[in-house]
Amino acid sequence: MNNYHLALLPGETYHLFSRAIGGERLFLSEEHYHFFLRKIKQHTSAVCDLYCYALLPNHFHLLVSIKENEVIVQHFKEIKKRAFDVMKDNLPDFIMERFSNCLNSYTKSFNKVNGRKGALFMDYMKRSLVSKEADFTNFVWYIHKNAVHHQLVKSVGDWKYDSYRSLLSEAPTSLLRDEVIRWFGGREEFIKFHQQDVDPKINL
């Protein structure tokens, strides 16, 4: 179930979702989509790995694996220039701060280029804890099916701004490609699973 205040914990997997305020769009050109992905990598790669994503004109979906505690504590030291204090500091808040910085940085650049002011994203990012055993393949399917659901394209793989084709490609990627494909049982099973119209087991 989606939750606006669910803590992002080390070692866990989450579906993250956010949208533009009002009827605005997050991406007005192809470069905006690519720029957003670069911002995600720049601001969050030290605290999470990315399984898959979908960027739609007014919202986005990410499936991420939060890194282990010791990795994030080390990054905290690098960013804050001091040791992590278990009595004062909150690791989930620090993780969330990385994502907030990403969205804020994108917003500032977007506003500057488009002569715009103010917030671009909704105040809170929705988060769902994902059980790999029960939900992982369903969430990957749901994210890659999103552009079809919103009638932007007819088939999975047609939308340029999600990770479906990258996961099937052999080109270098920062996605956890091998792990995703293994969860489906192989490349052909990955493709076959995505050809489903509706998965009755999905629990979002």
Question: Mind listing the pLDDT tens digit for each residue in 3-57?
Answer: 767 999 999 999 999 999 998 999 999 999 999 999 999 999 999 999 999 999 9
Cβ proximity of 64 and 50 under 8 Å: yes
pTM reported for the whole predicted model: 0.93
Q: Which CATH number does the domain 12-195 belong to among 3.40.190.80, 3.30.70.1290, 3.40.605.10, 3.30.465.10?
A: 3.30.70.1290
For the stretch 136-170, pLDDT in tens is 999 999 999 999 999 999 999 999 999 999 999 99
Better-predicted residue by pLDDT, 199 or 132: 132
Check residues 126 and 202 and name the one with the higher pLDDT.
Answer: 126
**How far apart are alpha carbons 156 and 164 in whole angstroms?**
8
The neighbouring-strand residues paired with 49 are 65
For 25, which DSSP code? -
* For the chain, domain boundaries: 12-195
pLDDT in tens, 170-184: 999 999 999 999 999
